[in-house]
Amino acid sequence: MNPNGEKTEHFYDYALPPTALLGNASNTVGLVIDADADFQCIWLIANSTGTFNVRFGDGGTGRYFMSGLIANVNLFGTALAPFPMLPPYVFKRQGSITIDLTDTSGAPNTIQLVFSGKKIFASPSSGAAGQILR
Amino acid sequence: MSQQSIELERWYARQRRDRTLGQAFLAEDAPVQSVPHDPRIEAIIEMYWPPRLLRGRVYMPDFDVIPDRPLRFFAYPFNFTLAARQTFQQTITIAHRFYWYGLTGVSLDNLVYRLRINDGRTRQQFQSSAIISPSMVGTGQRPFYMRRPHCIPSQRPINVQAENSAAATNHVQVVLLGAIYDG
């Protein structure tokens, strides 16, 4: 906590490593949240070489954020125009984001998803290097 | 003292005067962050840094209808495979109380379609006639946000009717964006 009792936060992106899918193939991957801080996801960004369907949820609670697979263009934006996830969701430290991917382009597809938001640290001592301390 | 050290002392003095790390991040000389300069994003940053409730913001007016409860983002997709000039209606029963605030949609064949949405139980229509897709739904990059979130009670069926305006098969997905109670 800083002197006013507020949690320390800083901008952070959790990026799914580029995932290669064969045409019309499906895959389930997971993103592990670091142990040093909770993560509040605010924006959704994706980049791919083809179209795909996606569904993701909180691996810790098993709750998904959609009732079914959603086309990437309906749920993810770009860095210029990211999709705001409202209200932002806090993934607990050492939790995970479970992601189901299904290619719909019919051709090999390389997908990268970025969950953009901020890390929420409980105390300055667990913050990143270079942080201003009192 | 050199000019550089004087400026450094002044900078530290401003940081101490700001009192909170959050304000330091928003100060004029704060470290540059890779956040796009978009009024929508700045409105979201203002909402959640420091944390605030999703209500009464310039970006999303009339969101005070959402009560002070823990909410979770949720989306309901409707998928259609429409033959040429075909009209089809799909119904989804909303599982939880759902605050519907946005719409996105896409035609995977890049064809035009029309939409009509209504409440399956009360037959309440949300438009006077079918609306062409570019005038009703947005995309992931630019979702269409409603003027005021609409509360859909639990176990309420929602009908989405899609009309294919093209003379070819049209694969359409429409997504209702909103928030549900978490817990």
| A29 Cβ under 8 Å from any chain B Cβ | no
Digit-coded pLDDT (tens) for A53-82: 999 999 988 999 999 999 999 999 999 889
Contact state of A74 with B106 under an 8 Å Cβ cutoff: yes
Contact state of B21 with A132 under an 8 Å Cβ cutoff: yes
Digit-coded pLDDT (tens) for B71-92: 789 999 999 999 999 999 999 9
* Predicted pLDDT of residue B151: 86
Looking at beta carbons, which residues of chain B come within 8 Å of A79? 36
pTM: 0.72
Give the rounded distance of the alpha carbon of A104 from its chain centre: 21
* Predicted pLDDT of residue A101: 96
Digit-coded pLDDT (tens) for B54-68: 333 444 445 555 555
Choose among B171, B160, B166: nearest CA to B85: B166
The residue assigned the tokens 């998803």 is A113
Query: Alpha-carbon distance B149 to B109, whole Å?
Result: 30
Q: Which of A66, A83, A88 sits opposite B74 (nearest CB)?
A: A66
Q: Which residues of A56-66 are buried (b: 16+ CB within 10 A; e: fewer)?
A: bbbbeeeeebb
Contact state of B77 with A69 under an 8 Å Cβ cutoff: yes
Digit-coded pLDDT (tens) for B122-147: 888 888 889 999 999 999 998 988 87
Give the rounded distance of the alpha carbon of A49 from its chain centre: 19
Query: Which of A67, A118, A123 is the best substitution to test chain B (most B C-beta atoms within 10 A)?
Result: A67
Mean pLDDT of chain A: 87
* Predicted pLDDT of residue B42: 55
Q: Which of A6, A65, A82 sits opposite B50 (nearest CB)?
A: A6
Query: Which of A74, A118, A120, A134 is the best substitution to test chain B (most B C-beta atoms within 10 A)?
Result: A74
